Amino acid sequence: MNRFLYVVFSATPTGMGRLIRLATGHPWNHVSLSLDPNLETLWSFARHHRCAPLWGGLVRESSLRYQGARWKICRLPLSEEAARSLDETLNRYWSEREDWLYHTPAALASLAGYRPRMPRTHTCASFALEILEKLALPGIALPLRPAVSALEQALSSFVLQEGPARPQGDWEEDLYPMPLTCRQCVWGTTRHFGRLARRAVLGTL
């Protein structure tokens, strides 16, 4: 059975997504990975909840997040060895998901061309780039720095389709639509930035 990695570039219909596209001048603001040909579940670093755009980490996104979005899907063939390695890598990430944070400062700084590093953090682009680097698939010249635009260019010969997103399935374990009170949003976002600050100063915590 043939295995593929689907790399999904998207233009999300959120305020943050529009701001990123305006600042970068690029049509896509987000990148996700999937092993599912139906794209019902995708892997990325993104916000946990719709109402808290700056609080995020590793998520298994339901494709329902992409209602009203446009996307561009690239399909990369995987050998059996590469597919097993990818399964192991993603499962390890998921088992450690509480330790991984969305690198919000890097995402904001990238709008000005800066990409600060911090232990056990990722943006959607740095996560996708790391996974692709580990796979070392032939015929792909990966960029040196994580950027959605650079990744899209590197995968331009693997485009499967482009157009309006066609989400399907259900939310399953994705917390994105869960309603939060204002207090919960403030607490979660404050805790997120507190963990980032401690990590920047002291290392992984």
Q: What is the CATH number of the domain that holds 63?
A: 3.90.1720
pLDDT of residue 108: 73
pLDDT of residue 118: 86
pLDDT of residue 115: 65
Per residue in 58-77, pLDDT (tens digit) is 999 999 999 999 999 999 99
Residues 6+ apart with CB under 8 A from 190: none
Whether the pTM exceeds 0.75: the reply is yes
pLDDT of residue 109: 72
Weakly modelled stretches of the chain, pLDDT under 50: none
d(CA 72, CA 197): 34
Number of domains the chain is built from: 1
pLDDT of residue 106: 84
Beta-strand runs (E) in 13-135: 30-34, 41-47, 56-62, 70-78, 101-102, 121-122
pLDDT of residue 101: 97
Q: Give the domain extent around 44.
A: 3-202
pLDDT of residue 2: 85
pLDDT of residue 201: 86
